[in-house]
Chain A
């Protein structure tokens, strides 16, 4: 059965084009983030492996899921945001805007390609990491659920950033002043239980914390918070951001005058 009909070929083509776009530069979009994550792993595990245990597991096993998820999230964001800002600055966004693709189809195509990029980078880091470390996988479906939902959330956020930003430096500000602090302060490198009560409370306002903790729970079976709560927060955040993104696309904000 042919799943792609003439009515679904438009968004399917856009999805395929977005996949090819990042795959053509996979050295930069896949290999580089895998390399960066492994450098973090090398440095932090070398320094802390013998001194620190978190939730009763050694530090390297604690760190790897966090690093994988951080890279998944950052790359899912980078995929949709960089594609949109490049297309807007270069003007080739009109090739899509001139077509019968609806705002919902546009959203789904960009979202799906962001999810794929996030998962490909995450899988790359995982495959390299397990060569060196024996990493458990207690709840595989939770891992997949958090990886897909997390990259979808950041993919949607990337669409918002890509539509809103008019220049590359505005996009860099998004990346450096929102995405980086939220991902570094989310418990990738530590358990929030090691923080003073005030900073624990602040951490719980950060949606990245729930994505990292839930994802890590999938591997280790332990975490800072119940995975059900994390999944609910991530799901609700994705729903809220998707509504904002769809609203922007429907009204043509900064795309159709």
Chain B
């Protein structure tokens, strides 16, 4: 089967900045894929290259088998992109914008039932005739997703879709995106909420400074990093001897990173010898965030 996305040795330079350093990536049809990385890792650059908003310095990218440069019309037909910024056209209402967006892709009134379906699924029915300017931030975000779907693309890219979105709306959005994925759409997601990627995505690529530093199924990535976290609430400050293991400190609670469970004994021994009282303690499984910190934080 033709991959949904194929990226071969893609480099991107902005002047002297080497933003992407030979990216290779294949995403199969029907996948729910996460692209993770800190700010400046190159995630948005990669998405913009796929969308044709940027041009690669070298290498090839294709969407559903269509080269994004040579066969840009077919490639763009196959791709819907939800941008990170809340951009909108202040002259039109939601339904008009969706009709225009579908029209740009050559679709006329025959596409109206799909637009109605998207409007309803995203809870925009009451706002369909409201000017984009008058929508709240959350509603604008829904309208952006609807716009990306207006031409019914098989591949949907969401660049930080839940940034600044409240919990309730996040749930609505994810239910809808999961439904699209079940119906066969390939979903590619960038997010800072790693628990979202862990819950939703079957495969993850982690990027750092223009390179992919990890690419595997979510389960495999978690298995490869069997470490655990030890959360401690102490009667006094953490002894200096344990500071190397400290991941973070918040409200008097310390989170220590353990490479294996047996280190618990060492931690307790150090606390005893420093006469520090343990008020509470919890052993927590590593999650995608730990993997992320481990890989992306590695010098």
Contact = CB atoms under 8 A, between A and B. Distances in A.
A9 B103 contact: yes
A13 interface: yes
Contact of A95 (B72, B96, B101): B101
A51 interface: no
Given A91-B87, A98-B76, A257-B54, A20 B107 contact: no
Interface string B66-104: 000000111011010101010111111000110011011
A257 B89 contact: no
B104 A10 contact: yes
A100 B73 contact: yes
A16 B92 CA distance: 12
Q: How large is the interface on A (under 10, 10 to 19, 20 to 34, 35 or more residues)?
A: 20 to 34
Contacts, number: 87
B138 interface: no
B14 to A, nearest CB: 7
B106 A7 contact: yes
A165 to B, nearest CB: 18
A186 B133 CA distance: 41
Given A90-B89, A95-B101, A256-B53, A100 B83 contact: no
Interface in A1-38: 4-7, 9-10, 12-14, 16-17, 20-21, 24-25
Contacts of B73: 100, 102
Contacts of A99: 76, 101, 104-105
Nearest to B54: A257
A248 interface: no
A138 interface: no
A101 interface: yes
B52 interface: yes
Nearest to B12: A257
Given A21-B91, A95-B147, A9 B53 contact: no
Nearest to A109: B104
Contacts of A226: none
B90 A10 contact: no
A87 B107 CA distance: 23
A95 B83 CA distance: 10
Given A20-B92, A256-B52, A257-B14, A9 B87 contact: no
A254 to B, nearest CB: 12
A182 B52 CA distance: 38
B61 to A, nearest CB: 14
A24 B76 CA distance: 30
Interface string A219-257: 000000000000000000000000000000000100011
A90 B55 contact: no
Nearest to A96: B104
Nearest to A9: B106
B108 interface: yes
B205 interface: no
Contacts of B106: 5-7, 9-10, 100
Interface in A62-97: 87, 90-92, 94-97
A99 B148 CA distance: 10
- B51, B91, B96, B105, most chain A CB atoms within 10 A: B91
A12 B106 CA distance: 9
A100 B53 contact: no
Nearest to B49: A257
Contact of B87 (A25, A92, A256, A257): A92
Contacts of A95: 87, 89, 97, 100-101, 104, 147
B91 A20 contact: yes
Contact of B53 (A12, A13, A92, A94): A94
Given A10-B103, A90-B90, A98 B54 contact: no
B123 to A, nearest CB: 21
Nearest to B85: A91
Given A10-B103, A10-B105, A20-B91, A97 B147 contact: no
A257 B55 contact: yes
Contacts of A24: 91
A221 to B, nearest CB: 42
23 contacts: A4-B108, A6-B106, A6-B107, A6-B108, A9-B103, A10-B104, A10-B105, A10-B106, A14-B104, A20-B92, A92-B87, A92-B89, A95-B87, A95-B101, A95-B147, A97-B52, A98-B51, A99-B76, A100-B74, A100-B104, A100-B105, A100-B106, A257-B14
Given A95-B87, A99-B105, 12 more contacts: A6-B108, A9-B106, A9-B107, A9-B108, A92-B87, A92-B88, A94-B51, A95-B101, A97-B51, A98-B51, A256-B53, A256-B55
Interface of A: 4-7, 9-10, 12-14, 16-17, 20-21, 24-25, 87, 90-92, 94-102, 252, 256-257
The 9 closest A-B pairs by CB, nearest first: A13-B103, A91-B87, A6-B106, A99-B104, A100-B73, A257-B54, A92-B89, A9-B106, A100-B76
